[in-house]
Structure 1
Amino acid sequence: MNLLKDPITDQDFLLGLIPQKHPFVMVDKLFYFSPEKIVSGFNITQENLFTSNEMFKEPGLIENMAQTVALHTGYHYFLKNQDAPMGYIGAIAKVEIDSLPRLGQELRTTVHILHDIMGVTLVESQIECDGSLIATGKMKTVLANR
């Protein structure tokens, strides 16, 4: 069940939910949120650190997956009226990238929360661009001690 009535596109609000700051931000929309799933969006611009030769490179796709997890955590804490904690990528596994998106395209990243125990979250991610699946991966994130 989606807990959002409308997509969230307010950049200041979204930046308050993730620990990353410009120019290292790889999410700019929140389309869907539930305890088990999140869908983010991201428009690829020329200014992005991971854009080269009009293509968005592999590290940017992986960082987009990680920041979508951070967005899930941040929004979850927002709903509890708490500050979002810092977190780290603990492990990246089984990443497959089939194609790279171009400047001006929008990513739609879906993350399914597989396990979330004691600040360690295991997720499965999928990135779509123009309706095609372009990347998948599994990742483990860890919350910093508060």
Structure 2
Amino acid sequence: MNYSFPITDNKLIESFIPQRNPIVMVDKLIEYSENKIIGGLQVSESNIFVENNILKEPGLIEHMVQTVALHTGFQFFLKNQKAPTGYIGSIKKINIERLPLVNEQITTEVTIIQEFLGVTLVEIVSRCNNEIISKGELKTVIAN
């Protein structure tokens, strides 16, 4: 199957992840490969994690986690299978340099470090305007 990137269709993006509105924190799939994904989010005033025109820490972290879920969900979509539900296994470290503002575009790159028996270890870098705003490592676990 060939897909043209970026994928920005909200219904299609939502089919790749288990989250539903108002907690959907990804709105585009920019790039995909077996070991990497780049996802995005346009920060809007209506986002439930926005306060005083700033996307708060839980929203940024949720965006990072959902970008990981986007990778898994798209991978299953390519196999014509339903996206699985997953959980955060652990957050090793998250370093937030600054929080994104309303109308800023977050671009998040997830690199798969290791994947074994439904447990995925990833490195994540989020940027706004090519400026790194956060980095982290986390493990996700697919529910059985």
- TM-score, with normalisation over the residues of structure 1? 0.95
Partner residue in 2 for 1:84 = 83
Aligned AA (1:69): V
**Contact residue 95 and residue 136 of structure 1 kept, 8 A:** yes
Residue aligned with 1:135, SS: strand
| 1:81-139 alpha-carbon deviations (Å, 9 max, x no partner) | 11111000010121100011100101000000001100000000000001100000001
- TM-score, with normalisation over the residues of structure 2? 0.97
Partner residue in 2 for 1:35 = 34
Residue aligned with 2:16, SS: coil
Partner residue in 2 for 1:98 = 97
| 1:32-77 alpha-carbon deviations (Å, 9 max, x no partner) | 0001000001000111111001001111111111100100000000
Give runs of ≥4 in structure 1 deviating > 3 Å.
none
Unaligned runs of 5+ residues in structure 1 are none
Partner residue in 1 for 2:59 = 60
Number of residue pairs matched by the alignment = 143
**Contact residue 30 and residue 41 of structure 1 kept, 8 A:** yes
Aligned AA (2:14): L
Aligned AA (1:46): E
Cα RMSD of the aligned pairs, angstroms, is 0.9
Is 1:44 the counterpart of 2:43 in the alignment? yes
